[in-house]
Amino acid sequence: MTTGLIPGAQPPDPRPTGTLPQQRHEPDTRAAPHVDNRPRSSVITARAAASFEPVGRSVATARSFVRDTLQGWGFADIVDDAVVLTSELVTNAVVHAGTHADVLCLRTEDGVRVEVSDRYPEREIPLQGSPATMGNPDREGGRGLQLCAAIAGRWGVDYTPTHKQVWFQLDLPDRPVGTRAAGPCLPSELLPLTDSRVRVAVVQIDRTGAISSWNEDAEELFGYPADQVTGKPLTDLAAWPHTPGTSTGIVEALQLSRWEGSYGIRAADGRVTPVYASHLRVRDTDGDPSTVCLLVRDHERAVLQTPLRLPASDATSNADGSSSDPFEVFIGSPAPDDLDGLLQRTVERARDMLDGDSAFLLLATDDETELEVRASTGLPSARQRFARVPVEAGPGRYGSARMPAVHEDLLSVPGAVPLLSGTGMRSVVTVPLKVEGRLTGSLGVAAEGPGRYSNEEALRLQFAADRIALAVESARLGELERLRRGSLSFLVEASDLLAGTLDRDQTLALMAQMTVPTLATWCAVYTIADQASDPYLSYVLHEDEELIDGIKSLLSKVAPPDPVPTPGARVWSAPGEAAHEAALRSSMRSLGLSGGPAHQQVTSGIGPTLATASAVGGETVVLPLVARNRVIGMLTLGKPTDEHFRQEILELAEDLSRRAALALDNARLYSERTAISQALQRSLLPPELPEVDGVEVEVIYRAAGEGNEVGGDFYDLFPISDGAYGFAIGDVCGTGPNAAAVTGLARHALRLLAREGLSGPAVLERLNSAILDEGARSRFLTLLYGEMRPQDDGSAELKVVCAGHPLPLRLRQDGTVEPAAEPQPLLGVMEDLELYEQTVTLDPGDVLLCVTDGVTERREGTRMLGDDGLADVLTTCTGLTAGAVAARIMRAVERFASDAPSDDMAILAMRVA
Tens of pLDDT, residues 742-754:
787 888 889 899 9
In this prediction, residue 215 has a pLDDT band, given cuts at 50, 70 and 90, of: very high
pLDDT for position 284? 77
Residue 373's nearest CA partner among 354, 412, 401, 405 is: 401
Has residue 401 got a pLDDT over 90?
Answer: no
In this model, does residue 614 exceed pLDDT 90?
A: no
Q: Any residues with CB less than 8 A from the CB of 790 and at least 6 apart, and which?
A: 692, 693, 694, 695, 723, 796, 912
Cα–Cα distance between 827 and 840 in angstroms, integer?
23
pLDDT at residue number 353:
84
Whether residue 793 contacts residue 783, with contact meaning beta carbons closer than 8 Å, is answered with no
Q: According to the model, what pLDDT value does residue 564 have?
A: 83
Q: What is the pLDDT of residues 507-546, one digit of tens each?
A: 888 888 888 888 888 899 999 888 778 888 989 998 888 8
What is d(CA 703, CA 901) in angstroms, rounded to the nearest whole number?
A: 9
pLDDT tens-digit profile of 77-104?
Answer: 788 888 888 888 888 888 777 888 899 9
Q: Distance (Å, rounded) from C-alpha 808 to C-alpha 786?
A: 11
For residue 361, how many other CB atoms are within 10 A of its CB? 24
Q: In 3-state terms, the chain is what percent helix, strand and coil (to 5)?
A: 35, 25, 40
pLDDT at 176: 55
- Helices 574-590 and 548-556: crossing angle, nearest 10°? 110
Confidence of residue 842 (pLDDT cuts 50, 70, 90): very high
- Indicate whether 436 pLDDT > 50: yes
Alpha helices in 598-646 (DSSP H): 606-616
Tell me phi and psi for residue 880, to 5 degrees: -85, 155
- Look at 308-317, 607-616, 835-844 and tell me which has the smallest mean pLDDT: 308-317
> What pLDDT shows up at residue 909?
95
- Asked if residue 292 has pLDDT above 90, the reply is yes
Q: Which of 806, 791, 908 is nearest to 847 (CA)?
A: 908
∠ Cα 153 158 159 (to 5°): 165
Interval 321-350 mean pLDDT: 68
Residue 327 pLDDT: 57
DSSP state of 27: -
* CA dist., res. 331 & res. 350, Å (int): 9
Pair 610, 21: CB distance under 8 Å: yes
The closest alpha carbon to 3, from 58, 61, 50, 53, belongs to: 50
Q: Find the range with the poorest average confidence among 205-209, 288-292, 331-335, 540-544.
A: 331-335
> CA-CA distance, 420 to 410, in Å (whole number)?
9
Mean pLDDT confidence for 665-692 = 80
Edge-first strand order for the sheet with 838-842 is 713-721, 724-732, 781-790, 796-803, 838-842
Percent share of the chain, pLDDT over 90 = 20
Nearest to 882 by CA among 751, 687, 689, 685: 689
> Which residue(s) pair with 630 in the sheet?
627
By C-alpha distance, which of 323, 326, 253, 246 is closest to 295? 253
Q: Dihedral, CA atoms, 452, 457, 462, 463, nearest 10 degrees?
A: -150
In this predicted structure, what is the pLDDT of residue 15?
39
User: Per-residue pLDDT averaged across 41-45, rounded?
Assistant: 72
When pLDDT is cut at 50, 70 and 90, the band that residue 366 belongs to is low
Residue 64: pLDDT band (50, 70, 90) is confident
Q: Is pLDDT above 80 for 599? A: no
Query: Which of 607, 543, 541, 515 is CA-nearest to residue 56?
Result: 543
Q: How many CB atoms lie within 10 A of CB 437?
A: 5
Largest Cα separation within the chain, whole Å, is 150
Q: What pLDDT does 823 receive?
A: 92
Evaluate the CA torsion angle 376, 393, 22, 358 in order and state its sign. Answer: positive
- Residue-averaged pLDDT of the chain: 78
CB atoms within 10 A of CB 773: 10
Min mean pLDDT across 284-298, 365-379, 595-609 is at 595-609
Range of weakest confidence among 471-485, 809-823, 842-856: 471-485
Q: Is the pLDDT of residue 29 over 50?
A: no
Q: Over the stretch 704-728, which tens digit does the pLDDT of each residue have?
A: 766 566 667 889 999 998 889 999 9
Nearest 5°: CA angle at 761, between 756 and 762? 40
Question: What does the buried/exposed string (b/e) look like for 747-764 if buried means 16 or more CB atoms within 10 Å of the residue's CB?
Answer: bebbbebbeeeebbbbbb
Lowest mean pLDDT among 113-127, 448-462, 550-564, 885-899: 113-127
Between 886 and 244, residue with greater pLDDT: 886
Q: What number is the average pLDDT over the span 590-604?
A: 47
Q: 451, 427 in Cβ contact below 8 A?
A: yes
The burial class, CB within 10 Å (0-12 / 13-18 / 19+), for 629 is exposed
Q: Nearest CA to 50 among 96, 114, 111, 98?
A: 114
Question: Pick the residue with more confidence: 816 or 467?
Answer: 816
Structure confidence by residue, pLDDT tens digits, 221-231: 999 999 999 99
Does residue 464 register a pLDDT over 60?
yes
Q: Is 556 left (phi over 0), alpha (psi -120 to 50) or beta?
A: alpha
pLDDT at 8 over 60: no
pLDDT tens-digit series, residues 120-145: 766 444 444 444 444 454 444 455 67
Task: Please tell me which of 292-296, 508-512, 676-680 the model is most confident about, judged by mean pLDDT.
Answer: 292-296
pLDDT band of residue 796 (cuts 50, 70, 90) is very high
How many angstroms separate the CA atoms of 716 and 116, rounded? 78
For residues 34-43, give the mean pLDDT: 50
Coil vs helix vs strand at 664? helix
Higher confidence at residue 160 or residue 696?
696
Alpha helices (H) along 516-573: 548-556
Reported confidence tier of residue 367, pLDDT bands at 50, 70, 90 = low
Confidence at residue 386, expressed as pLDDT on a 0 to 100 scale: 61
